[in-house]
Amino acid sequence: MEKDFLWGSATASYQCEGAWNEDDKALSNWDVYLHENKLENGDVASDHYHRYKEDIKQLAEGGQNAYRFSLSWPRILKDREGTVNEKGIAFYRDLIKTCLEHGVRPFVTIFHWDLPEYWQEVGGWLNADVCYGFERYCEVCFQAFGDLVEDWVTINEPKYFTSSGYLIGNYPPGHQNPEEFIKAAYNVMYASALGVRAFRKGGYKGQIGIVHSFAPVNGIDDTLKTKIAMRYADNYANNWVLDTAAKGEIPFDLLCVLSQKYDLSFIKEEHLKIIKENTVDFLGLNYYSHILVKPYTEGETSLTVNNTGKGGKNTVIIKGWFEQIFDLPGAVYNEWGTQIYPKGLEKGLLEAYEKYHLPIYITENGIGVREDVSVEQVEDDYRISFMNDHIAAIFNAMDKGVEVKGYFAWASFDLYSWKNGMAKRYGLVAVDDDLTRRPKKSYGWYKKMIESDGKLIERKTWD
């Protein structure tokens, strides 16, 4: 492996920090949404806010040389005017310094979904003012941490949180409105470009990228009809984020189709110019699964998500565009209906690199499982085999020339899974109900694998 290859793991502020109302933190949209709906929340989560030193030490002892985490916007800025909360800055500076003291590279996501409620109140991502609020927030982060951090991510998974919040309706603000989804999605990509512009203008050291919920698209056959369905699915799932961030171009065929049905007058020439001029340095790809599609047959658009882990698949049918399909012979799923499909990662990496020619980090990869964490050690052989096979897929892609520069397991330790709560565990380290940390078997395996410089990976090929 290259000497500077990053082997790490990842978390996100809302999912692990807790301390939701401490040290002058403002409310986030997730605080309010989960409280109002009386749902399991991240008030305490993994209590990382108070235990980050222990967590980072453990991560370093696990042989990892990078930690991907996110900054909480409402912890850093108190209001829409952008008043800085010095306590928030002090917290993250200390967290970052702790990383550096342990030889761990801080890989910082500026926004991982916890929007300040003061922005949600005025329309959230439907209000273009939020884009400029985000720009200001980025400037504050670069100024406060730019001397210590060299790897920046503007936004985590634009596709996933905007479709969940504005189309499917299972994330805040809980709307189901295609027009809103399109507008929010556009504003998020514009905001990301403004963040990149602020980084370049300030002349900060290092690199800046975006993280995408990468869902490579496969088709059931090679017919033209299926290929058209695949293009629709790719535009829906991937291209509007990746093309826009990497090439500075919103897919033109997507705009053509959308403009027939929706008013796109919120798209302004001056924004497009900023998007074009401020593309990213690298792509962060979160990989959980692929999507298999067939041509659209009948029925209304329908999107379902399994947030219970009790049966049911995450299904997308978009009227006139495509239908996602499941249950081909031999397919294996986790309890939340996500197919386990490492082959999709190899193929997806080849496709993404061919299209964008940018360095790639796998910024998340992992498996969510119900686990009894009261035991001395969780024997998570399924996680070891999941990670082995996905890393093998990455190695295959690298052998074929794809420039992958790092891998982050999701997650560093157990944390709150959006809408699934603590029932769906991803950590390399178990976090018990009393918040005690106990490394799982996978933590030790990952350490040995990193120490072996990847040689411990059992290599695989797929037909």
Judged by beta carbon, residue 165 or residue 454, the one nearer ligand BGP is 165
Residue nearest to ligand BGP (CB): 417
x-or-dash string of contact with ligand BGP, 258-297, rule CB under 6 A: ----------------------------x-----------
| 158 sits near ligand BGP (criterion: CB under 6 A) | no
CB of 17 to ligand BGP, least distance (A): 13
Instruction: Region of 88 please: left (phi>0), alpha (psi -120 to 50) or beta.
Output: alpha
Query: How far apart are the C-alpha atoms of 12 and 60, rounded to whole Å?
Result: 18
CB of 101 to ligand BGP, least distance (A): 26
Spacing of C-alpha 391 from chain mean position: 18
- Answer for which of 214, 410, 443, 446 binds ligand BGP (CB under 6 A) is 410
Amino acid identity for residue 195 in this structure: G
How many residues are there in the chain? Answer: 463
Q: Do 407 and 397 meet the contact criterion of CB atoms below 8 Å apart?
A: no
**Total chain residues near ligand BGP (CB under 6 A):** 14
Tokens of 40: 């399991």
Asked about 277 being catalytic, the answer comes back as: no
Catalytic residue among 17, 139, 157, 371: 157
CB of 213 to ligand BGP, least distance (A): 5
- Answer for which of 120, 244, 314, 420 binds ligand BGP (CB under 6 A) is 420
Residues 198-227 touching ligand BGP, rule: CB under 6 A, are 213
* Residue in the block written with tokens 């049911």: 312
CB of 125 to ligand BGP, least distance (A): 16
Strands (E), 245-335: 282-287, 291-295, 302-304, 315-318, 322-324
| 71 sits near ligand BGP (criterion: CB under 6 A) | no
Tokens of 166: 């504005």
Q: Do 356 and 283 meet the contact criterion of CB atoms below 8 Å apart?
A: yes
Among the residue ranges 131-139, 257-265, 276-284, 412-420, the one whose residues contact ligand BGP (CB under 6 A) = 412-420
x-or-dash string of contact with ligand BGP, 76-115, rule CB under 6 A: ----------------------------------------
- Answer for which of 25, 290, 390, 424 binds ligand BGP (CB under 6 A) is 424
Please report the sign of the dihedral spanned by the C-alpha atoms of residue 236, residue 238, residue 244, residue 249.
negative
Which residues lie across from 46 on neighbouring strands? none
Catalytic residue among 117, 180, 323, 364: 364
- H-type helices in 37-177, by residue range? 48-61, 73-76, 86-101, 117-120, 129-145, 158-163
Judged by beta carbon, residue 143 or residue 338, the one nearer ligand BGP is 338
Asked about 364 being catalytic, the answer comes back as: yes
- Answer for which of 46, 65, 156, 339 binds ligand BGP (CB under 6 A) is 156
Query: How far apart are the C-alpha atoms of 109 and 139, rounded to whole Å?
Result: 14
| 181 sits near ligand BGP (criterion: CB under 6 A) | no
Which residues lie across from 417 on neighbouring strands? 421
Which residues lie across from 369 on neighbouring strands? 425
| 321 sits near ligand BGP (criterion: CB under 6 A) | no
Query: How far apart are the C-alpha atoms of 334 and 306, rounded to whole Å?
Result: 11
Among all residues, which ones are annotated catalytic? 157, 364
- Binding residues for ligand BGP, rule: CB under 6 A, are 12, 15, 156-157, 160, 213, 286, 364, 368, 410, 417-418, 420, 424
